[in-house]
Amino acid sequence: MSYSAASLRWAREEADRPHATREHRQALREIARTVEQRRERQVTGWEPDHVLRMLADERAALIREDVARITEPMGTHQAADWLARRVAELQGRALTWRGQAAGLPPARDELAGMYARAQCAIWWRRCMRRECVRLRELAGMQRGEVCRRAGQVYVTTDTVERRRERVAANRAMLEATELEAADGEVITLAQAADSSTANPAIRRGELMTRIRGCEEWAQAAGYVGLFTTHTCPSRYHAQTMHGGANPRHDGSTPRDAQGWLRRTWQRTRARLHRLRVPVFGFRVAEPHHDGCPHWHMLLWTTPAEVERLAEVMRAQWLAEDGDEPGAQQHRFRSVAMVGGQAAGYVAKYVAKNVDDAGAVGTQGHHDEDHTGQADWIGGTAARVAAWASAHGIRQFQSIGQPPVTVWRELRRVELQAVQGAAPAVVEAHAAVSRDAGRRACWRRYMDAQGGPTVGRGYAVRIMRADEAPAEPNAYGEERERATLGVYHVSRPDELIQSSRREWRPRGHWTAADRAPVPAELRVCGFMGQTATAGCPPRTRVNNCTGRPRGGLMSAGLVGLLTANLRGSGAITTQEGHTWPTPTPPTTSPRPTAARWITSHATSRAP
């Protein structure tokens, strides 16, 4: 129990004592009211970390008390809605569940996980730290500090410095943490991170490899490229081009602007799908000087559909506030890509958003903002990364391409493992390999997967274990099934196993753990039913436009639960199943003998 909770309980108990005078009771009630107001006070963004820790403990205690006071039966959907509203009132991260957009209730285990998070001080601590960063940025935008004229483009310098300190602290922790394999090899977590896509150089190299491969595939198939720029209506911009408050700004944040861009693209994608316009490529999110995001998209389609593609995108981006000044000229712009220009043209945008390498020289480069005015920018990757981290904006996204997860998993597969496999698996493995000085080829990988714009109909997929690990996560939820390798869709029972090594903190290996496992037992129990071979979709709802199907809503509502949140925190359904809401520890949930699973040959640069 936290200090404030103990004070509140004491005040209430003292006020109920029969010997207390009226003045004494009134004073104790005032104390209880003050403590309650303090527990629910909203953060401003400038609290030190030790205050955030204290408030996180108070938020978790409040949720536990609120759950304990619930005595009336509540349906699963009602319980989830109540919890989401209560968490939002306390300034926490919005709690969502699968199927929420379609009006479906959460599953039983998912609801229990939601309640466990809301009662966890560590979860609240993360939420409040994130909220503080966004509140400070919002205050800076309102004061006019985030703009070119003030010398703080994209984000405030305070956020950049705080992020730099956090990255440095994390780096020191990674370098001080040693991992050991079963054969005695010792590395640091920093070495493992540097050999993965967490390394900006590797991430940039992989992106450029994919862009170049898409361009090569498009040229071979006779597709043409279109480079587009998409901006938001003026009400999302806090500052004008030359600095100064924008009179049209309605208080929207960069996250609101990003949400508008995403919704507009969803409508555009649905329209293109109905018109059967094949589209694949990349999307890059960048900030204007005032922090408002805009998109650059590099798309390929057939020559017969390129004009329709541009028309549909322009119509969707101008459907809202399309008559305001400058909208026709700057809301949507497109440039045709010919003769292999795409990779070189987009290279500067990739470098600017990753590590400033290659495309940014001593003179910097010019980037057009929403007014068409050129602005000199140099060495901006740190500020762009701080902007994306502060507002939770995804910088890069592929469109209509085979999954990169399979590409990365194939790099963990040894050459001997693909002998005798399906031709598509052999071809895909050859595409990702860099043997004999040959570079990885994304175009060849796309051919092996069946090309772009095939949805989830790609040929090579991820193979996962039949069962999840027995140990649940800190919130009592089932952990993700372990990845074993890849398989071809026509041979779901044939596993192409990837090479992985198990790493533990140094000194946690025992003699029994180091004993080798017989080869015939390494994948025992993992090649069961066909239905468990692939990875299920992330959500239960497909938001893409499809054919109308009758009875979908009624089918989705089958099996609704009626839950009763009792005073003990347990949840009971109408079928009689009862399970307690797990309360995560207030300290770090990381086990003392934590394990890290990495590839045999850790992720490499493409």
pLDDT digits (tens, 9 = 90+) for 308-322: 999 999 999 999 999
SS3 state of residue 77: helix
Task: Summarize the confidence of residues 138-150 as an average pLDDT.
Answer: 92
Write down the pLDDT at residue 276: 95
Quote the percentage of the chain above a pLDDT of 90.
51
Tell me how far apart the alpha carbons of residues 601 and 181 are, in angstroms, rounded to a whole number. 13
Question: 30 or 597: which carries more pLDDT confidence?
Answer: 30
What b/e readout covers 443-462, taking b as 16+ CB neighbours within 10 angstroms? bbbbbbbebbbbeeebbbbb
Write down the pLDDT at residue 8: 55
Tell me how far apart the alpha carbons of residues 346 and 408 are, in angstroms, rounded to a whole number. 23
Write down the pLDDT at residue 34: 66
pLDDT band at 476 (very low <50, low <70, confident <90, very high): confident
Write down the pLDDT at residue 14: 60
Write down the pLDDT at residue 93: 76
Write down the pLDDT at residue 537: 45
User: Which pTM was predicted?
Assistant: 0.80
Length of the chain: 606
Write down the pLDDT at residue 374: 32
Q: End-to-end CA distance of the chain: give it in Å, rounded.
A: 52
Of 432, 485, 491, 434, the closest CA to residue 459 belongs to 491
Write down the pLDDT at residue 516: 62
Strand partners, 298: 227, 282
Quote the percentage of the chain above a pLDDT of 70.
74
Task: Summarize the confidence of residues 546-568 as an average pLDDT.
Answer: 36
**The 178-181 sheet, strands edge to edge:** 186-188, 178-181, 500-505, 596-599
* Residues forming the active site: 345, 349
The DSSP 8-state label assigned to residue 363 in this structure reads: T
Q: Which of 364-373, 548-557, 584-593 has the lowest mean pLDDT?
A: 548-557
* 146 exposure class (CB count in 10 Å sphere: 0-12, 13-18, 19+): buried
Write down the pLDDT at residue 250: 93
Write down the pLDDT at residue 135: 94
Write down the pLDDT at residue 65: 87
Task: Summarize the confidence of residues 446-470 as an average pLDDT.
Answer: 92
Res 604 pLDDT > 90: no
Write down the pLDDT at residue 194: 92
Res 25 pLDDT > 80: no
Residue pair 266/215 in contact by the 8 Å Cβ criterion: no
Task: Using DSSP bridges, classify how beta strands 186-188 and 365-368 pair: parallel, antiparallel or unpaired.
Answer: unpaired
Write down the pLDDT at residue 542: 56
Residue pair 453/278 in contact by the 8 Å Cβ criterion: yes
**Which of 77-86, 87-96, 345-354 reaches the highest mean pLDDT?**
77-86
